Amino acid sequence: MNLSVNSPALYGPVQDDLRLVDDALDRISRVENFPALTDMLAIVLGATGKRLRPAIALLGGTFGEYQAERLVPLAASIELLHTATLVHDDVIDRADTRRGRATANSIWDNGPTVMLGDYMFAHAAELVATTGDIRVIRLFAATLMKLASGEINQDLSAFDSRETLKNYFSRIGGKTASLFAAAGEGGAIVSGAPEDQIEAMREYSYNLGMAFQIVDDILDFSGDEAQMGKPVGSDLMQGTLTLPSLLLIERSPVNNPVQTLFERRDDGDLQTAITAVRESSILDESHDIARGFRDRASDALAGLPPTAARDTLADLLQYVVTRSS
């Protein structure tokens, strides 16, 4: 099936309820008697993304008793948490744009933007609490710690060409895949799905998240700047080693263009490193690794009953590894 993020078939049986998630986020962006905060939230929440994480939460909820009044707040909290991490990332990276739009920190400077991210984290926690499920609340807290650990890991290893593949996989597992896993597992828990299906959703979602991040890292070298809304090579410019650049270092440990870039921080060295990756088989190898995580996620689906939601989850696997933005 040829799916895109704009396809009405992308999220199958939960497509309509994703509009309820958008409605919830719209309500969050309207803060009574605080127009400045309302403006800030409108900027960061108005940049509609793929909504992949909240969709997974809703799809996970189909394997038990589907209750939109409990699942929609959970799905909205997942998206709010994700967006809050991006707000903080933009401060750390000193990014001026995201998805082709001005970032909050480029408009209001770092201090207010950090507090905006904190406000969103707190609001996400409040939304999770409305589920009334202590297990999901604890899952949310554990996930937030994993997200923070992944970001700390990335920041402390910036411009360090000695990073290993093991550390890379651990980092993206914390920074990206953990939130996917919380979405799928949380949705299944809230709906009261059987334990084996909760575990199947966690495994599926975690491995989907790993594949998603690896494809993101591939697109940082091969993607179209207009589609991505950011410059090609952004990760390397920030000193972040990803799978393609790590494979390049592994292949050429001496006189490596990535190491030269990290030493000199020169735009010409950046282009040399990008070209070296593009002209090798590294992007194909990276896609193979992403497909390996996709296959693990596909295997996890065997633990779920045959439903329209499971079919949608299977279709999402192909979308994630073939997307171009």
Domain spans of the chain, in order of start: 12-322
Largest CA distance in the chain: 60
CA-angle at 55, arms to 54 and 61, nearest 5°: 95
Structure tokens at 307: 């439903």
Q: What local confidence, expressed as pLDDT, does residue 254 receive? A: 83
169-197 residues labelled b (16+ CB within 10 A) or e (exposed)? bebbbbbbbbbbbbbbbbbbbbbebeeeb
- Class for the domain spanning 12-322: mainly alpha
CA distance 199 to 295: 16
Q: What local confidence, expressed as pLDDT, does residue 109 receive? A: 86
End-to-end CA distance of the chain: 18
Measured in whole angstroms, the distance separating CA 283 from the mean position of its chain's CA atoms is 20
Q: What local confidence, expressed as pLDDT, does residue 2 receive? A: 47
CA distance 259 to 261: 5
Q: Is the dihedral of CA 304, 309, 137, 80 positive or negative?
A: positive
CA distance 240 to 250: 16
CA distance 77 to 24: 9
Q: What local confidence, expressed as pLDDT, does residue 35 receive? A: 93
Q: What is the pLDDT along the chain (325 residues), one digit of tens a residue?
A: 445 555 557 999 999 999 999 999 999 999 999 999 999 999 899 866 789 999 999 999 999 999 999 999 999 999 999 999 999 988 888 878 777 678 888 888 889 999 999 999 999 999 999 999 999 999 999 999 999 999 999 999 999 999 999 999 999 999 999 999 999 999 999 999 999 999 999 999 999 999 999 999 999 999 888 777 788 999 999 999 999 999 999 998 888 999 999 998 888 999 999 999 999 999 999 999 999 999 999 999 999 999 999 999 999 999 999 998 8
pTM (predicted TM-score): 0.95
Unique residue bearing structure tokens 């909205």? 76
Give the phi and the psi of residue 102 in degrees, each rounded to 5.
Answer: -65, 140
